[in-house]
Amino acid sequence: MLKPHLKKGAEPERIGKVVIGTVAGDIHDIGKDLVVFMLDVNGFEALDLGIDVPVEKFVDAIKASGSTVVGLSGFLTLAFDSMKDTIDAIKDAGLRDQVKIMIGGGQINDEVKSYVGADAYGRDAVEAVKLAQGWIGG
Ligand code: B12
């Protein structure tokens, strides 16, 4: 009974929340998990939605958490369109102005960033942390 409370009390204050997941149709999560780990140890609350994440799940998580940063991961070329669909759904939900969106994964580059309409592309987990710090602080 006491332990959860003690643990909660010992939790350091989090800098901000980042909703993150591997986009629909893609199950690669090794790279994403490294990003989640690095965000976590650098003081962010990473809300990990897992793999093959449907667009509505991203939208719902942003609404529920009030998160201001979103991370989309994908390793397949088909992930480009899933990322675009996800960002379009975020726009359609009227949430695009309240979030910064970073993307990353094996085949991702700046050209893909422009195609999908993200704010930034991060090459690795360290860059993901730097992007989140630039947008949220910390
Ligand atoms: C491991 C792997 C798998 C594993 C995945 C295990 C897992 N739990 O993730 C398994 C065996 C399951 C797998 C399955 C498949 N795979 Co695979 N897989 C790979 C492989 C070998 C490595 C990918 C990887 O995890 N790298 C390790 C991480 C650490 O790499 P990293 O890029 O350095 O990660 C950093 C960045 O990407 C960045 N990052 C990642 N996410 C994010 C997010 C944000 C927001 C930011 C900022 C940064 C960021 O930070 C990470 C950490 O520093 C690649 C080939 C390759 N060499 O890349 C193929 C590869 C990605 N797979 C491929 C394919 C085709 C498949 C399958 C479709 C195969 C099949 N026919 O079934 C299926 C996928 C099914 C599906 N629906 O997703 C192709 C994709 C080709 C393409 N053009 O689409 C590749 C490129 C292999 C190839 N050359 O053909 N795969």
CATH number at residue 38: 3.40.50.280
Contact between 105 and 75 (Cβ < 8 Å): yes
- In ligand 1, the atom with minimum distance to the C-alpha of 106 is 32
Flag whether 5 is in a domain. no
Dist. CA 138–CA 133, nearest whole Å: 5
Centre of ligand 1 from the C-alpha of residue 28, in Å: 5
What would the DSSP string read from start to end of 31-68? HHHHHHHHHHHTT-EEEE--SSB-HHHHHHHHHHH--S
* pLDDT reported for residue 1: 44
Output the tens digit of pLDDT for each of the chain's 138 residues. 444 454 555 667 889 999 999 999 999 999 999 999 999 999 999 999 999 999 999 999 999 999 999 999 999 999 999 999 999 999 999 999 999 999 999 999 999 999 999 999 999 999 999 999 999 987
Flag whether 3 is in a domain. no
* pLDDT reported for residue 97: 97
Flag whether 4 is in a domain. no
Kindly report the protein residue whose alpha carbon is nearest to atom 25 of ligand 1.
30
Flag whether 8 is in a domain. no
pTM exceeds 0.85, yes or no: yes
Domain residues for the domain of 34 are 15-136
Q: To test the ligand 1 pocket, which listed residue (22, 26, 28) has its Cβ within 8 A of the most ligand atoms?
A: 28
* pLDDT reported for residue 92: 98
- Count of structural domains within the chain: 1
* pLDDT reported for residue 3: 42
- In ligand 1, the atom with minimum distance to the C-alpha of 128 is 47
* pLDDT reported for residue 8: 55
